[in-house]
Structures are given as structure tokens and as C-alpha cells.
Amino acid sequence: MKEKTKVLLVTLQGDNIGNRLQNYALQKVLQKRNCDVWNPYYDDNYEIDDIFKKCKLICKIFLGKLKFERFKVNYIRFRRKEAFKAFDGKYISNQFKINFDETFEKRWDQYDLAITGSDQVWHNWYNSEYELRYFYLEFIDKDKRGSYAPSFGFDDFPQQDLEFHREGLSGIKYLSSRENKGIELIKTITGKDAKLVLDPTILLERNEWEIIEKKPKNNINGKYVLVYFLGNMDAKEDISNFAKKRGLALVNAFDPESLNSQLITPDNFIWLVHNAEYVFTDSFHASVFSIIYNKRFLVFRRKENGMEGMFDRIQTLMDIFGTESRIYNGKVEAIIESYQVNDIEELRQESLRYIDNMLKMK
């Protein structure tokens, strides 16, 4: 029997639905190719779990109702992390915790290849320089560095960080991105031609997602409109009226103040998109799954300061699938219009061939 390729999958961690789904998808694709996939995580929030449990009752008794309401927000975050931790335990293989301080001192000879991505691993607004070195895989030999579908989430490199990013990107043998702007940025700073590839979630077939989808525990009966906004919800009143006019319930899959909403895990999220009548979102992965399940949906631009550059990944997605009409243009009623999806099988196969070639670095 052929020896398995031992792969280190270096991506973002935490309680973001899209991130967990892309992590699972890329892992699945690699496992089909006889890879033993290992997933390091660096989320220190889990360290406070035991302290939080002990403090909960004390705070309720001594802080009074008002302060406990504020404390409850943190409790909701804690419960969400627990739910996502359970999802990871079930679906993400070979997890082990790493410490950034020790990452660059440790030897990684036992791994044949390290892959950074997908998601916004090179987004310098969210990561410190030290973390970015990690996502540029500088802790492992250059001939073992690859990438799959990473994003930057900004339009240009800060001038003061230009050499830092050039050095990091130049050290990766296989360069790719899931967005046109990412390809352009890599070319500008390194002179190299990176490969435009599909997000890992698009590499799996629809029936492979249906295997893991799971109905949320909270009561969802009858037909509904799904809203999933990571930023501010534009046209909130218009969306509400749209649902009421059609006698549909409104299900919010990301309400920071609702425990039921925050306990929606990635497998729950897939079920919610699959069974929705309509989907309104500003999320890349909600758009992906709306297309996978042939849902009528609209995707909104995030207008918060510093978020404008994140839309390129969604624009690239719409361009690839030919679904530009799904971008919100000021009218929520546009969601009822039918749309056609381009055949992207050739690009899917190109993306898989890119992975196959990267694995030959072993």
C-alpha cells in the first residue's frame, strides 16, 4: 500500500462558519488523495473555559441583573466556541495546539508538505506580523511550502510592509488565490503567476455536503427566509417586509445577542441554506452554498470601514459562476428573479490538478 503524504494544513481557526467549512472541504479533498492531514490550531480562548464555568454562577449572584446581562453576551460567545469545538472534534482530523513562540523553534521534518489556506490567511488587518510569518509557512523548509485559495482581503499592500510580504510570498513554491485581486497582488509583488483556483467548498459535490448537514436544535418549522450578515444588515426593514408579504418566517443565522443563533454550527448552516426559500447575505460562503443548492439569493457589500476590499472574493465568485445579477442593487425584490449558473467543471478540474501537482513536491 502506498505510503500516505503527511500534510500540515495551516489555516485560520475559531468560530467562523465559512472558515470551518473550507477547512473541512480541503481536508476532505486531500484525504481522497491518500493524505494524512494534520490541523494545528492556535486559539487560546479555550484556556478560559474552566474559569468561565466557575465564574458564571458567582457573577449572577453578586453582579445583579444589569451587569449579568452584559456578562451573558460573553456567555453566548463561550457557548458558541464550545459548539464549534464539538464540530471540529467530529470533522477536523488530527488537531493539535501550537504556540506561536515555539513554532519557529520546532522541527517539522515529519511533514511532507505544508499548505496555507484557504480563507483570508494573508489579511494583515487581522493578523500580527508574527502570525503572518506563520501563514507564510516560514517555519518549514521552502521546498515544502504550498498554498491553496488564500485571500488577502485588501486592495494593496501597505508600503511599509512591502518587503515583508514580498519575502513571505516569494518563499512559497505553489502560489494560488481564490480571487482575481489576489492573483494581481502576487504578480505585482513577486513577478510570479499564481493560479486562480476555486474555494475548497466548491470542490466537493452537493451530495457530499448533504451527508454532514444537520437541522439546528431550535424550532424551525415551515418555510423561511434565511438572513446571514457578518456586517451590518442593509435593507433590514425591506427584507422583513419581503418575508411578511410571502408569509415566510425570518431566520437570522448570525445574531450576536441570540443564543439560538450563535449555537448554529457549520453543519447546521448547510442545512439552513439547503432548506431556505430565499437567502439574503453579505457572506462569501453563504453565497457559495446558495449556488450549490440553487437557491434564490442576494449578496450585499459590506460597508463597514476597512471591509471594502473583502468584496473582491465575492465578485470573483459571481464572475466565475455568471451570477452577477445576485449582487444587491438596491431592490430586495430582485431576489425572485431566476438566474443561470455557468458550468465550472473545467475550473474545478484545474483546481484539483493544481492540488495534485502540489502534492508531487513530496
Task: Report the SS3 class of residue 147.
Answer: strand
Question: Can you name the CATH fold of 5-42+98-198+348-359?
Answer: Rossmann fold (3.40.50)
Task: Report the SS3 class of residue 116.
Answer: strand
Q: Which helix (H) or strand (E) holds 228?
A: strand 224-228
* Average pLDDT, consecutive stretches of 10 residues, N- to C-terminus, the chain (362 residues): 92 93 99 98 57 51 54 83 96 91 84 95 74 91 97 86 91 97 96 98 98 91 96 92 97 92 96 98 98 97 75 95 96 94 96 97 73
> CA–CA distance from 60 to each of 22, 70, 76 (Å)?
38, 11, 14
Give the residues across from 96 on adjacent strands. Answer: 40
Residue found by looking up cell 436544535 in the block: 217
Q: Which of 183, 169, 99 is nearest to 133 (CA)?
A: 169
- Is the separation of the CB atoms in 40 and 139 below 8 Å? no
The C-alpha cell that represents 95 in the structure block: 488537531
The C-alpha cell that represents 80 in the structure block: 458558541
- Is the separation of the CB atoms in 84 and 78 below 8 Å? no
CATH number of the domain at 214-336, please? 3.40.50
Distance CA 298, CA 333 (A): 10
**What is the DSSP code (8-state) at residue 5?**
E
> Residue 223: what are its φ and ψ, rounded to 5°?
-85, 150
User: pTM for this one?
Assistant: 0.91
CB burial class (10 A; 0-12, 13-18, 19+) of residue 193? exposed
Helices within 128-205 (DSSP H only): 129-135, 162-170, 180-190, 200-203
The confidence score (pLDDT) of residue 151 equals 93
Beta strand ranges found along 78-202 (DSSP E)? 95-97, 113-116, 145-147, 176-177, 195-196
Q: Which helix (H) or strand (E) holds 27?
A: helix 17-32
Distance CA 60, CA 5 (A): 51
For the sheet containing 5-10, what is the strand order?
Answer: 95-97, 35-41, 5-10, 113-116, 145-147
Q: At what angle do helices 284-292 and 311-321 cross, to 10 degrees?
A: 20
Distance CA 117, CA 146 (A): 9
The confidence score (pLDDT) of residue 281 equals 98
The confidence score (pLDDT) of residue 19 equals 96
Q: Which of 338, 335, 283 is nearest to 314 (CA)?
A: 283
Residue found by looking up cell 480571487 in the block: 179
Give the distance, in angstroms, between the CA of residue 54 and the centroid of all CA atoms in the same chain.
32
Task: Report the SS3 class of residue 330.
Answer: coil
> CA–CA distance from 318 to each of 81, 150, 284, 290, 333 (Å)?
31, 17, 10, 12, 19
Q: Which helix (H) or strand (E) holds 298?
A: strand 296-299
Residues 6+ apart with CB under 8 A from 67: 59
**What is the DSSP code (8-state) at residue 280?**
E
Residue found by looking up cell 462558519 in the block: 17
Q: At what angle do helices 49-91 and 266-275 cross, to 10 degrees?
A: 60
Q: What is the residue extent of each domain of the chain?
A: 5-42+98-198+348-359, 46-90, 214-336
